[in-house]
């Protein structure tokens, strides 16, 4: 069974479906309310587990009563937790998400800035068993430490490039694969071509840039091109990027090549958009048998 390590953010997402977003000093009644455990690294790890892998999640959760929501979800999804700050007393990261009928989304979240996470000791025994490591840039010292240790062992390191964060420049020194959103912009990069050039100049060998339902652009050495994303009747795109990253890690860890892993991941992410939330797709997608 392929093992993977996912380093980054874990949140509790409270999601409201609304007819329209509120204006200042107003209230709206939600059509529905859901609570999910989320965060880029967390959703990726859960996807990896569902497809047949054995993931470990390095994040900060703490001991607040609400932290049990995260712990129980990870246990239910067969994700091993490595808590960066087990003594943290305050509430974990909570995100408020509103989604309108057109699929637009507003998000309010403090992300990881409230929770201190000392530079961790990397579990070398766990790392020795891993076939892949993903970092999302949250809790940056932890991302940098695990990425450097993985690079030293020759274990592939994947960057979930949702947005540029303080410390990303140093993190890139140990990144093998960068899978970035179209909004990812390093300093001084005004467009996607400059972003690609920047990443390559920092030694990243394989790069993919996602564009939602539009084709994925990729570069790998002298090879480049685009991959068509399966077209589905999207009900909710929440977490689709995270699911893409987790699926890519699974397929890559089980022996697929870079482009094939991207194509397989696009299939999984597209399937997830046919359902509300970040878990419902799992009921119809049985996944793969781990190699």
Write the DSSP assignment of 20-46 as a string of letters: SPPPTT-----SEEEEEEE-HHHHHHH
SS3 148: helix
Residue ranges of domains in the chain, CATH in brackets: 3-20+30-283 (3.40.1190.20)
Global confidence as pTM? 0.94
Strand order in the sheet with 214-220: 80-83, 54-59, 3-7, 132-135, 157-161, 177-181, 206-211, 214-220, 223-227
Instruction: Please report the pLDDT score of residue 290 as a whole number.
Output: 35
Distance CA 253, CA 276 (A): 28
Per-residue confidence (pLDDT) for residue 287, from 0 to 100: 54
Residue 286's pLDDT is what? 63
Q: pLDDT tens for residues 150-208?
A: 999 999 999 999 999 999 999 999 999 999 999 999 999 999 999 999 999 999 999 99
Instruction: Compute the mean pLDDT over every residue in the chain, rounded to the nearest whole number.
Output: 93
Kind and range of the H or E run holding 159: strand 157-161
Task: Report the percent of the chain where pLDDT is more than 70.
Answer: 98
* pLDDT given at position 39: 95
Q: Give 200's strand partners.
A: none
Dist. CA 141–CA 54, nearest whole Å: 24
pLDDT of residue 99: 85
Three-state secondary structure of 215-271: EEEEEECCEEEEECCCCCCCCCCCCHHHHHHHHHHHHHHCCCCHHHHHHHHHHHHHH
- The ranges of the chain with pLDDT < 50 are 288-291
Q: What is the pLDDT of residue 110?
A: 81
Predicted local distance difference test score (pLDDT) of residue 67: 95
d(CA 80, CA 103): 33
pLDDT digits (tens, 9 = 90+) for 80-107: 999 999 999 999 999 999 988 877 888 8
């Amino acid at each position: 069974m392929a093992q993977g390590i996912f380093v980054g953010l874990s949140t509790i997402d409270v999601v409201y479906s609304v007819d329209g977003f509120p204006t200042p000093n107003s209230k709206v009644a939600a059509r529905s309310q859901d609570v999910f455990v989320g965060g880029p690294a967390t959703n990726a790890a859960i996807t990896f587990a569902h497809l047949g892998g054995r993931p470990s999640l390095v994040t900060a959760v703490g001991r607040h009563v609400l932290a049990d929501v995260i712990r129980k979800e990870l246990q239910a999804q067969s994700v091993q937790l490595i808590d960066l700050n087990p003594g943290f007393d305050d509430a974990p990261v909570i995100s408020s998400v509103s989604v309108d009928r057109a699929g637009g989304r507003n998000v309010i979240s403090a992300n990881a800035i409230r929770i201190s996470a000392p530079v961790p000791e990397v579990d070398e025994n766990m790392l020795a068993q891993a076939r892949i490591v993903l970092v999302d840039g949250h809790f940056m010292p932890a991302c940098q430490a695990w990425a450097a240790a993985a690079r030293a062992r020759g274990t592939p390191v994947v960057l979930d490039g949702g947005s540029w964060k303080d410390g990303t420049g140093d993190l890139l020194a140990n990144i093998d694969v960068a899978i970035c959103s179209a909004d990812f912009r390093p300093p001084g990069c005004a467009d996607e071509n400059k972003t690609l050039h920047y990443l390559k100049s920092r030694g990243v060998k394989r790069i993919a840039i996602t564009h939602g339902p539009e084709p994925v652009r990729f570069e790998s050495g002298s090879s480049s091109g685009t991959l068509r994303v399966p077209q589905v009747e999207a009900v909710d795109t929440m977490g689709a990027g995270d699911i893409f990253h987790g699926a890519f890690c699974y397929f890559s860890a089980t022996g697929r090549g870079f482009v094939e892993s991207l194509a397989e991941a696009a299939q999984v992410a597209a399937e997830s958009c046919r359902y509300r939330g970040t878990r419902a797709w799992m009921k119809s997608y049985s996944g793969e048998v781990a190699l």
